[in-house]
Amino acid sequence: MHCENKGENITELISEVVSHFPLAGRLVDVTPIVQGHINTTYRLVTEDENGESHSYALQTINKYVFKNPEDVMENICAVTAHLRKKIIEAGGDPDREALTVIFAKDGKSYYVDHRGEYWRIYHFIRGASTYDTVQNARHLYNAGYAFGRFQTLLADFPIHTLKHTIPDFHNTKKRMADFFAAVEKDECGRVKDVLPEIEFFRKRAEEASRLVDMQAMGLLPLRVTHNDTKYNNIMIDDATGEALCVIDLDTVMPGLAAYDYGDAIRFAASTAAEDETDLSKVTVDMHLFEQFTAGFVGATTGFLTKTELETLPWGARIITLELASRFLKDHIEGDKYFRIHRPNHNLDRARNQMKLVLEMEKRFDEMCAITAKYM
């Protein structure tokens, strides 16, 4: 067992961390998993007295993103316990279809090391993999189904007990207000060069609030939402190719179902990368859109209300608009939040997502018709 990370030998640290958890047997191997983007994940293998091996996933929790790791873990523990119960009731395999938190010896769901870093351990889900890109339309159907099923299994979760670990995460009304405040301030003198872009958001400021307003009026309920509905957060069963389990639960929070759906569509049904500058390449692939929608609506019909299902296409439009405004805001503020790899990178990203909004607007009737077809 040997593991180097950023020039620092972390094998010793991991051994120390692991000693605080009741793992089966002794640690024999540690392998970093390079897939993730936010957390560092390691696969741990232990061997017990009978020579049997056991695997675990060890992660640090990103304190830059999550200011309150205890709340993050409280949400994850409550949600995974609920999922476990539901999966058992449905005759499924709770060890493979949900994350299982291993509690430390002191009863906590995490361990804090001497540097103040938070660590947690899950059972390792064997015989399954995550993929960064969607290979075919069938995968998108599976992804839609997996995220839909995730919400459905949590339909009777006591939502008021869930912490808002990132306040106002998808408060699109506030996001718009923050955007126009940055325009007003113009701290880098960049506003004069992006006036048509700003006009784009001015025209759409009202519709950005549409779902938030409906929620405030009691027309849309808060649900347990995942908030990072990327394809690489679904474990796919190696044997069957089917979606097995939704992972990466750090951002689980109360939210609107349409935003989980919408963010997945924004990401997975777009025909180009988020920073493609040839905007003629950026549109919505309606076949992929239909596949994801079929999976998601199929898994949530009977649970999501009619109004919620009808607002799904709005979720896609508004979440794309929100991200576009965040990219442009960051450009105006001097690229403080999203890391850039070239000049005007955030402006390129903003224009790309604005184009995607335009494409969704053009195809909106079709998007609504497809959604209705599966309701």
Ligand X SMILES: Nc1ncnc2c1ncn2[C@@H]1O[C@H](COP(=O)(O)OP(=O)(O)O)[C@@H](O)[C@H]1O
Instruction: Give the DSSP letter of residue 303.
Output: T
Task: Give the one residue of 110, 111, 122, 201 binding ligand X; rule: CB under 6 A.
Answer: 122
Task: Give the one residue of 5, 15, 35, 68 binding ligand X; rule: CB under 6 A.
Answer: 35
DSSP string for 12-30: HHHHHHHTTS--SSEEEEE
For Mg ion, which stretch binds (CB under 5 A), given 94-102, 109-117, 241-249, 315-323? 241-249
Looking at the Cβ atoms of 2 and 126, the one nearer to Mg ion is: 126
Task: Give the one residue of 97, 248, 308, 330 binding Mg ion; rule: CB under 5 A.
Answer: 248
Strand partners, 53: 47
Residue 248 makes contact with ligand X by CB under 6 A: yes
Instruction: Give the DSSP letter of residue 270.
Output: B
Interacting residues with ligand X between 222 and 241 (CB under 6 A): 232-233
The nearest distance, CB 335 to ligand X, in angstroms, is 23
Task: Give the one residue of 36, 92, 221, 298 binding ligand X; rule: CB under 6 A.
Answer: 36
Residue 39 makes contact with ligand X by CB under 6 A: yes
Closest CA to 285 of 373, 341, 359: 359
Place of tokens 């339309």: 137
The nearest distance, CB 139 to ligand X, in angstroms, is 15
Total interface residues for ligand X by CB under 6 A: 17
The nearest distance, CB 235 to Mg ion, in angstroms, is 10
Distance CA 198, CA 327 (A): 12
Looking at the Cβ atoms of 32 and 36, the one nearer to Mg ion is: 36
83-90: long-range contacts at Cβ-Cβ below 8 A with a sequence spacing of 24 or more? 83/150, 83/153, 83/154, 86/153, 86/154, 87/153
Q: Is residue 112 within 8 Å of residue 29, measured between CB atoms?
A: no
Say what the alpha-carbon torsion angle 361, 367, 372, 375 is, to the nearest 10 degrees: -120
Q: Which residue is nearest to ligand X (CB)?
A: 36
Q: Is residue 252 within 8 Å of residue 225, measured between CB atoms?
A: yes
The nearest distance, CB 121 to ligand X, in angstroms, is 9
Return residues touching Mg ion (CB under 5 A). Answer: 36, 233, 248
Return residues touching ligand X (CB under 6 A). Answer: 33, 35-39, 41, 57, 99, 122, 124-125, 130, 232-233, 247-248
